[in-house]
């Protein structure tokens, strides 16, 4: 479907429930709450809800709604920033009359009745912003602040590939609409002594491979020792980026029955490797899952293959 067709379904439904993915990040929050506030601002008679898991990192943007199953009757379920249905945090999205998917990740599953996926956008929040600007919809301060946060976080403060002139033009619209940059910067830049000490652990305990992969392992004992949540620990993945000769890095966190991997790259394509390990995402920013630490060696081998492939292509 085309981007402007999204608006047809917003017009069509009087009740809209906006969903995101499990372990939500800034872009997930930004797209959900940004879209919610745009609809409220422009269509005040519609019922609009945003539902899903909470994220301490960006909950300054607002709180999600708690709704009964009955609320889904005759509602449009919108799912943003979520490539596969397994990752949708609120499984009741299926109770909606129809499902609309809006995403910027590699399209591996068309779980919606209607699907808009465009990987040229570095953030789902940029899709929502572009939709609003192109259709001259009003963006209130709350919506602008949420969408700005989504774009800032998913682009690594405009440092990652995929950031374009369009990104900056749309961000200027958000700023002109009242996005509160001070609140965003103050909240995203907050540190506490626990997270600062954990950074020291990351810098002191990372592991490098001869093939150019760098990673850090965090088990439950480490998280307990430093008194931080898994969410806080996961946000530190980019501390390992930029080490010369190591173009791929990862942060691995132990959960009850699996190891969740945040995987990043400044060159080699890593999404295919992530897909082999129950994950996926972007070419240079993906997530994966190991069933146990015993899979780590195989995972490293696959990563190093991609690094070798990338280096050979660069040398051509």
Contact 31, 147 (CB under 8 A): yes
Mean residue pLDDT across the chain: 93
pLDDT at residue 69, rounded to an integer: 97
Model confidence at 316, in pLDDT bands (50, 70, 90)? low
Domain boundaries, the chain: 3-188, 193-315
Q: Examine the pLDDT at 67 and tell me if it is beyond 80.
A: yes
Q: Examine the pLDDT at 189 and tell me if it is beyond 90.
A: no
Give the whole-angstrom CA distance, residue 233 versus residue 43: 39
Arithmetic mean of pLDDT, 102-127: 94
Q: Examine the pLDDT at 104 and tell me if it is beyond 70.
A: yes
| Percentage of the chain lying above the pLDDT 70 cut | 100
Task: Specify the residue for token string 């709180």.
Answer: 63
pLDDT digits (tens, 9 = 90+) for 17-58: 999 999 899 999 999 999 999 999 999 999 999 999 998 889
Residues whose CB falls within 8 Å of the CB of residue 269, separated by 6 or more in sequence, listed in order: 283, 284, 306, 310
Query: Strand 15-19's sheet: what is its strand order?
Result: 47-50, 15-19, 76-80, 98-103, 114-117
Give the whole-angstrom CA distance, residue 18 versus residue 93: 9
pLDDT digits (tens, 9 = 90+) for 147-174: 999 999 999 888 877 899 999 999 999 9
Arithmetic mean of pLDDT, 223-232: 87
Looking at per-residue pLDDT, the higher value among 216 and 108 belongs to: 216
pLDDT digits (tens, 9 = 90+) for 248-298: 999 999 988 899 999 999 999 999 999 999 888 788 888 899 999 999 999
> At the top level of CATH, which class does the domain 193-315 belong to?
alpha beta
Q: Examine the pLDDT at 183 and tell me if it is beyond 90.
A: yes
Contact 106, 282 (CB under 8 A): yes
Residues whose CB falls within 8 Å of the CB of residue 203, separated by 6 or more in sequence, listed in order: 239
Contact 125, 8 (CB under 8 A): no
Query: Distances from the Cα of 165 to the Cαs of 4, 128, 170, 171, in angstroms?
Result: 20, 16, 9, 10
* Helix 165-176 × helix 124-134 angle, to 10°: 70
Q: Examine the pLDDT at 315 and tell me if it is beyond 80.
A: no
pLDDT at residue 312, rounded to an integer: 87
pLDDT at residue 40, rounded to an integer: 98
Arithmetic mean of pLDDT, 2-28: 94
Give the closest residue to 268 by CA, choosing from 305, 299, 296.
305
Q: CATH number of the domain at 3-188, please?
A: 3.90.1640.10
Give the whole-angstrom CA distance, residue 130 versus residue 193: 39
Give the whole-angstrom CA distance, residue 117 versus residue 109: 10
Q: Examine the pLDDT at 120 and tell me if it is beyond 70.
A: yes
Counted residue by residue, the chain has a size of 316
């Amino acid at each position: 479907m085309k981007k402007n067709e999204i608006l047809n379904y917003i017009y069509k439904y009087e009740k809209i429930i906006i969903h995101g993915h499990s372990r939500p990040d800034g872009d997930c929050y930004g797209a959900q709450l940004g879209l919610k506030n745009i609809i409220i601002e422009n269509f005040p008679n519609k019922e609009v809800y945003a539902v899903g898991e909470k994220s301490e990192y960006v909950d300054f943007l607002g709180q999600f709604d708690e709704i009964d199953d009955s609320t889904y009757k005759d509602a449009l379920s919108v799912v943003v920033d979520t490539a596969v249905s397994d990752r949708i945090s609120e499984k009741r999205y299926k109770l909606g009359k129809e499902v609309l998917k809006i995403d910027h990740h590699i399209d591996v599953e068309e779980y919606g009745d209607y699907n808009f996926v465009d990987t040229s956008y570095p953030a789902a929040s940029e899709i929502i912003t572009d939709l609003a600007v192109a259709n001259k919809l009003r963006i209130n301060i709350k919506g602008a602040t949420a969408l700005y946060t989504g774009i800032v976080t998913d682009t690594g403060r405009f440092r990652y590939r995929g950031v374009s002139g369009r990104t900056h033009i749309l961000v200027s619209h958000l700023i002109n609409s009242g996005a509160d940059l001070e609140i965003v910067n103050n909240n995203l830049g907050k540190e506490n002594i626990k997270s600062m000490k954990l950074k020291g652990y990351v810098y002191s305990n990372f592991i490098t491979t001869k093939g150019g992969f760098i990673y850090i392992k965090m088990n439950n004992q480490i998280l307990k020792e430093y008194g931080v949540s898994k969410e806080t620990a996961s946000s530190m993945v980019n501390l390992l980026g930029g080490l010369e000769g190591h173009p791929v890095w990862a942060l691995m966190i132990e959960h009850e029955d699996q190891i969740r991997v945040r995987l990043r790259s400044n060159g080699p394509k890593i999404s295919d490797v992530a897909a082999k390990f129950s994950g996926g995402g972007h070419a240079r920013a993906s997530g994966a899952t190991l069933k146990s630490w015993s899979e780590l060696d195989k995972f490293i081998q696959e990563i190093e293959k991609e690094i070798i492939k990338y280096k050979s292509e660069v040398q051509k």
